[in-house]
Amino acid sequence: MFRLDKKNAIVTGAGMGIGRAIATTFAAQGAHVIIFDKDRVAGGETAERIKAAGGSADLIDCDVSHGDSVGAAFAKTENEYDRIDILVNNAGVAHVGNVENTSEHDFDRIYAVNVKGVYLCTRAAVRRMVKTGGGVILNLASIASLIGLTDRFAYSMSKGAVLTMTRSVAVDYIKHNIRCNCICPARVHTPFVDGYLKQSYPGREKEMFKQLSEYQPIGRMGEPEEVAALALYLCSDEAAFVTGQAYPIDGGVLVF
Protein backbone atom coordinates (compact mmCIF):
# COMPACT_ATOMS: atom_id res chain seq x y z
CA MET A 1 0.00 0.00 0.00
CA PHE A 2 0.88 3.66 -0.50
CA ARG A 3 3.43 2.97 -3.23
CA LEU A 4 4.26 5.77 -5.68
CA ASP A 5 6.12 3.71 -8.26
CA LYS A 6 6.59 5.38 -11.66
CA LYS A 7 5.13 8.66 -10.40
CA ASN A 8 6.85 12.02 -10.78
CA ALA A 9 6.37 14.19 -7.70
CA ILE A 10 7.32 17.87 -7.41
CA VAL A 11 7.92 19.02 -3.83
CA THR A 12 8.53 22.73 -3.33
CA GLY A 13 10.75 23.92 -0.49
CA ALA A 14 12.13 20.42 0.05
CA GLY A 15 15.52 21.61 1.30
CA MET A 16 14.64 21.14 4.95
CA GLY A 17 11.93 20.44 7.51
CA ILE A 18 8.57 19.11 6.38
CA GLY A 19 9.47 19.43 2.70
CA ARG A 20 12.57 17.29 3.11
CA ALA A 21 10.61 14.67 5.05
CA ILE A 22 7.95 14.53 2.32
CA ALA A 23 10.54 14.27 -0.44
CA THR A 24 12.46 11.45 1.24
CA THR A 25 9.27 9.57 2.16
CA PHE A 26 7.91 9.78 -1.38
CA ALA A 27 11.22 8.62 -2.84
CA ALA A 28 11.32 5.68 -0.43
CA GLN A 29 7.89 4.67 -1.76
CA GLY A 30 9.09 4.64 -5.36
CA ALA A 31 8.43 8.16 -6.64
CA HIS A 32 10.90 10.15 -8.67
CA VAL A 33 11.10 13.37 -6.66
CA ILE A 34 11.71 16.72 -8.32
CA ILE A 35 12.84 19.23 -5.72
CA PHE A 36 11.93 22.86 -6.37
CA ASP A 37 14.02 25.06 -4.07
CA LYS A 38 15.80 28.40 -4.32
CA ASP A 39 18.39 27.18 -1.79
CA ARG A 40 20.53 24.97 -3.99
CA VAL A 41 22.69 23.83 -1.09
CA ALA A 42 19.81 22.63 1.08
CA GLY A 43 17.88 21.25 -1.89
CA GLY A 44 20.98 19.48 -3.13
CA GLU A 45 21.51 17.89 0.26
CA THR A 46 17.97 16.49 0.18
CA ALA A 47 18.54 15.10 -3.30
CA GLU A 48 21.81 13.46 -2.22
CA ARG A 49 20.16 11.90 0.81
CA ILE A 50 17.49 10.40 -1.42
CA LYS A 51 20.05 9.02 -3.85
CA ALA A 52 22.21 7.63 -1.04
CA ALA A 53 19.16 5.72 0.21
CA GLY A 54 18.61 4.23 -3.25
CA GLY A 55 15.94 6.65 -4.38
CA SER A 56 15.60 8.94 -7.39
CA ALA A 57 15.62 12.73 -7.24
CA ASP A 58 16.50 15.87 -9.18
CA LEU A 59 16.94 19.45 -8.04
CA ILE A 60 15.57 22.40 -10.00
CA ASP A 61 16.29 25.96 -8.92
CA CYS A 62 12.97 27.72 -8.30
CA ASP A 63 11.76 30.73 -6.36
CA VAL A 64 8.03 30.07 -6.09
CA SER A 65 7.26 33.76 -5.51
CA HIS A 66 8.36 34.75 -9.03
CA GLY A 67 6.37 33.77 -12.09
CA ASP A 68 9.38 33.64 -14.40
CA SER A 69 11.23 31.29 -12.06
CA VAL A 70 8.22 29.00 -11.69
CA GLY A 71 7.64 29.03 -15.45
CA ALA A 72 11.26 28.09 -16.15
CA ALA A 73 11.21 25.30 -13.55
CA PHE A 74 8.05 23.74 -14.94
CA ALA A 75 9.32 24.10 -18.52
CA LYS A 76 12.45 22.20 -17.56
CA THR A 77 10.39 19.55 -15.81
CA GLU A 78 8.09 19.10 -18.79
CA ASN A 79 11.06 18.82 -21.15
CA GLU A 80 12.53 15.98 -19.10
CA TYR A 81 9.44 14.07 -17.96
CA ASP A 82 6.31 13.05 -19.82
CA ARG A 83 3.99 13.87 -16.94
CA ILE A 84 3.64 15.46 -13.51
CA ASP A 85 1.69 13.12 -11.26
CA ILE A 86 1.98 14.93 -7.92
CA LEU A 87 2.60 18.49 -6.79
CA VAL A 88 3.21 19.25 -3.11
CA ASN A 89 3.06 22.98 -2.40
CA ASN A 90 5.20 22.98 0.72
CA ALA A 91 7.39 26.09 0.34
CA GLY A 92 6.43 28.72 2.88
CA VAL A 93 7.63 31.38 5.27
CA ALA A 94 6.43 32.35 8.73
CA HIS A 95 5.84 35.60 10.57
CA VAL A 96 5.04 36.52 14.16
CA GLY A 97 2.92 39.61 14.78
CA ASN A 98 -0.57 41.09 14.99
CA VAL A 99 -2.14 43.47 12.48
CA GLU A 100 -0.59 46.55 14.11
CA ASN A 101 3.01 45.41 14.12
CA THR A 102 2.94 43.62 10.77
CA SER A 103 4.68 45.89 8.29
CA GLU A 104 3.58 46.19 4.68
CA HIS A 105 6.90 44.63 3.67
CA ASP A 106 6.30 41.63 5.94
CA PHE A 107 2.73 41.24 4.67
CA ASP A 108 3.88 41.30 1.03
CA ARG A 109 6.69 38.82 1.75
CA ILE A 110 4.31 36.32 3.35
CA TYR A 111 1.77 36.75 0.57
CA ALA A 112 4.36 36.36 -2.20
CA VAL A 113 5.57 32.96 -1.00
CA ASN A 114 2.64 31.41 0.84
CA VAL A 115 -0.19 32.54 -1.44
CA LYS A 116 1.23 33.62 -4.79
CA GLY A 117 3.71 30.74 -4.74
CA VAL A 118 0.92 28.19 -4.33
CA TYR A 119 -1.08 29.87 -7.08
CA LEU A 120 1.81 29.96 -9.56
CA CYS A 121 2.86 26.34 -9.02
CA THR A 122 -0.70 25.05 -8.97
CA ARG A 123 -1.59 26.86 -12.19
CA ALA A 124 1.44 25.43 -13.98
CA ALA A 125 0.82 21.91 -12.67
CA VAL A 126 -2.90 21.92 -13.45
CA ARG A 127 -2.28 22.93 -17.05
CA ARG A 128 -0.01 19.92 -17.45
CA MET A 129 -2.22 17.51 -15.51
CA VAL A 130 -5.29 18.39 -17.59
CA LYS A 131 -3.37 17.37 -20.73
CA THR A 132 -2.09 14.10 -19.28
CA GLY A 133 -5.25 12.80 -17.63
CA GLY A 134 -5.06 13.97 -14.04
CA GLY A 135 -2.91 14.14 -10.95
CA VAL A 136 -2.77 15.07 -7.29
CA ILE A 137 -2.08 18.44 -5.66
CA LEU A 138 -1.37 18.67 -1.95
CA ASN A 139 -1.01 22.00 -0.17
CA LEU A 140 0.53 22.68 3.22
CA ALA A 141 -1.88 24.88 5.13
CA SER A 142 -1.99 25.14 8.95
CA ILE A 143 -4.36 25.00 11.89
CA ALA A 144 -4.06 28.79 11.54
CA SER A 145 -6.43 28.45 8.58
CA LEU A 146 -9.03 26.84 10.85
CA ILE A 147 -8.77 28.73 14.16
CA GLY A 148 -7.46 32.04 15.43
CA LEU A 149 -3.87 32.06 16.68
CA THR A 150 -2.35 34.87 18.71
CA ASP A 151 0.23 37.01 16.89
CA ARG A 152 -0.05 35.18 13.57
CA PHE A 153 -2.01 37.74 11.56
CA ALA A 154 -0.19 37.62 8.20
CA TYR A 155 0.65 33.94 8.46
CA SER A 156 -2.96 33.06 9.22
CA MET A 157 -4.11 35.18 6.28
CA SER A 158 -1.85 33.28 3.96
CA LYS A 159 -2.83 29.84 5.19
CA GLY A 160 -6.50 30.73 5.03
CA ALA A 161 -5.95 31.52 1.38
CA VAL A 162 -4.25 28.15 0.89
CA LEU A 163 -7.29 26.41 2.34
CA THR A 164 -9.73 28.19 0.05
CA MET A 165 -7.50 27.71 -3.00
CA THR A 166 -7.45 24.01 -2.19
CA ARG A 167 -11.22 23.76 -2.25
CA SER A 168 -11.55 25.89 -5.38
CA VAL A 169 -9.11 23.72 -7.34
CA ALA A 170 -10.80 20.55 -6.10
CA VAL A 171 -14.21 21.77 -7.35
CA ASP A 172 -12.95 23.19 -10.64
CA TYR A 173 -10.91 20.17 -11.72
CA ILE A 174 -12.68 17.14 -10.31
CA LYS A 175 -13.92 16.27 -13.82
CA HIS A 176 -10.31 16.34 -15.02
CA ASN A 177 -9.30 13.64 -12.52
CA ILE A 178 -7.28 16.10 -10.44
CA ARG A 179 -7.56 15.78 -6.68
CA CYS A 180 -6.55 18.63 -4.37
CA ASN A 181 -6.30 18.50 -0.57
CA CYS A 182 -4.41 20.29 2.16
CA ILE A 183 -2.79 19.39 5.46
CA CYS A 184 -3.23 21.65 8.50
CA PRO A 185 -0.47 20.97 11.03
CA ALA A 186 -0.12 22.44 14.48
CA ARG A 187 3.41 23.25 15.62
CA VAL A 188 5.99 20.92 14.04
CA HIS A 189 9.58 20.67 15.26
CA THR A 190 11.62 21.96 12.32
CA PRO A 191 14.85 23.97 12.01
CA PHE A 192 12.68 27.09 11.83
CA VAL A 193 11.46 26.50 15.40
CA ASP A 194 15.01 26.06 16.70
CA GLY A 195 16.16 29.18 14.87
CA TYR A 196 13.21 31.20 16.14
CA LEU A 197 13.88 30.21 19.76
CA LYS A 198 17.58 30.96 19.47
CA GLN A 199 16.92 34.40 18.02
CA SER A 200 13.96 35.41 20.15
CA TYR A 201 14.77 33.77 23.50
CA PRO A 202 18.55 33.46 23.88
CA GLY A 203 19.39 31.51 27.01
CA ARG A 204 15.76 30.44 27.44
CA GLU A 205 15.50 28.04 24.53
CA LYS A 206 14.71 24.94 26.61
CA GLU A 207 12.08 26.74 28.66
CA MET A 208 10.33 28.15 25.61
CA PHE A 209 10.62 24.88 23.68
CA LYS A 210 8.73 23.19 26.54
CA GLN A 211 6.09 25.93 26.46
CA LEU A 212 5.61 25.65 22.71
CA SER A 213 5.44 21.87 22.95
CA GLU A 214 2.77 21.94 25.66
CA TYR A 215 0.49 24.08 23.48
CA GLN A 216 -0.45 20.79 21.84
CA PRO A 217 -2.61 18.80 24.30
CA ILE A 218 -0.68 15.67 23.40
CA GLY A 219 2.32 17.32 25.06
CA ARG A 220 4.78 17.69 22.20
CA MET A 221 5.30 19.14 18.75
CA GLY A 222 4.73 17.07 15.66
CA GLU A 223 7.62 15.59 13.71
CA PRO A 224 8.15 16.28 9.99
CA GLU A 225 7.99 12.55 9.28
CA GLU A 226 4.49 12.39 10.77
CA VAL A 227 3.29 15.08 8.40
CA ALA A 228 5.05 13.25 5.56
CA ALA A 229 3.16 10.04 6.37
CA LEU A 230 -0.16 11.85 6.01
CA ALA A 231 1.06 13.49 2.80
CA LEU A 232 1.96 10.06 1.43
CA TYR A 233 -1.54 8.76 2.04
CA LEU A 234 -3.22 11.77 0.43
CA CYS A 235 -1.02 11.55 -2.67
CA SER A 236 -1.36 7.79 -3.05
CA ASP A 237 -3.94 5.83 -5.00
CA GLU A 238 -5.39 4.66 -1.67
CA ALA A 239 -6.79 8.20 -1.25
CA ALA A 240 -8.44 8.23 -4.68
CA PHE A 241 -11.83 9.04 -3.10
CA VAL A 242 -10.52 12.08 -1.18
CA THR A 243 -10.55 15.61 -2.57
CA GLY A 244 -11.24 19.16 -1.37
CA GLN A 245 -10.45 18.29 2.24
CA ALA A 246 -8.36 19.89 5.00
CA TYR A 247 -6.66 17.37 7.27
CA PRO A 248 -5.59 18.61 10.73
CA ILE A 249 -2.54 16.94 12.26
CA ASP A 250 -2.45 18.85 15.49
CA GLY A 251 -1.82 16.79 18.61
CA GLY A 252 -5.36 17.47 19.79
CA VAL A 253 -5.41 21.28 19.48
CA LEU A 254 -8.77 21.38 17.70
CA VAL A 255 -10.42 18.91 20.07
CA PHE A 256 -9.52 20.16 23.54
- pLDDT averaged over 10-residue windows placed end to end, the chain, 256 residues: 97 98 98 98 98 98 98 97 97 96 98 98 98 98 97 97 98 98 97 91 95 96 98 98 98 95
8 Å CB contact between 245 and 179: no
pLDDT score for 256:
86
d(CA 140, CA 92): 8
Torsion from C-alpha of 9, 13, 19, 25, nearest 10 degrees: 30
| Residues carrying an active site annotation | 155
DSSP 136: E
Which residues, in sequence order, are bridge partners of residue 209?
none
The verdict on pTM exceeding 0.95 is yes
- In the chain, CATH 3.40.50.720 sits at 8-186+223-242
CATH domain 8-186+223-242 topology: Rossmann fold (3.40.50)
d(CA 51, CA 32): 10
**Residue 101: Cβ within 10 Å count:** 10
Helices (H), 149-236: 153-173, 191-200, 205-214, 224-235
pLDDT score for 83:
95
8 Å CB contact between 166 and 141: yes
